[in-house]
Amino acid sequence: MKAFAWQEKTLKDPFIFQDNNNNKVRAIICDGITGIGDYAFGLCNSLTNIKIPDSVTSIGKGVFVNCSGLTSIVIPDSVTSIGESAFGFCTGLTNIKISNSVTSIKDYTFADCRGLNYIKIPDSVTSIGDNTFDNCTSLKDIKLSNNIENREINRWFGRQYVERSNYNFIDIRVEWRGNYYYYEDTGK
């Protein structure tokens, strides 16, 4: 078992938890930590579970990039910002709850989260970055609010061609059709 200590309130050493020895890793971030710095858990593919305390207000760029063992995460209401590519390549991620305090979702935040099939974007979010859902081939449902300012849904899915049906950006059903996404308003 490894133990780490910090003198500051932000975990900011990149790739400090990088791990390739296939041992399951469960991380608990103690109360009092206010931020998780860029790439802190990056490449920790053995990470399966993490508890983020209410003291955390920001999640940095690429924090969980390539954490393929991570299956579920809850972003507490204290978090107001999530960095670019924060969950990129978390191929095992199937469940995420985003807090009602987050106001924007940056570029590539969920890119290549191939296990993710549903996501609810809270009313507090007003913008979604480019390629946010790029290569999320299992994504079937996205729940949005009318508060989204950038409504160029094609940009959210990145390099895959997107075929469009009618939509109003409240409830979107997404289907991966082998080489492109098809989406439509479900009217719910």
Q: Is the full-model pTM beyond 0.85?
A: no
- Domains of the chain (ranges, CATH numbers): 9-188 (3.80.10.10)
Rg (CA), the chain: 16
Q: What is the dihedral of CA 155, 157, 163, 167, to 10 degrees?
A: -70
Amino acid (one-letter) located at 132? T
Q: Closest Cα to residue 105, out of 131, 125, 122, 135?
A: 125
> Euclidean distance between the first and final Cα of the chain, in Å?
48
Those residues of the chain that have pLDDT short of 70 are 1-26, 145, 150-154, 158-188
- Encode pLDDT of 137-153 as tens digits: 888 778 876 787 766 66
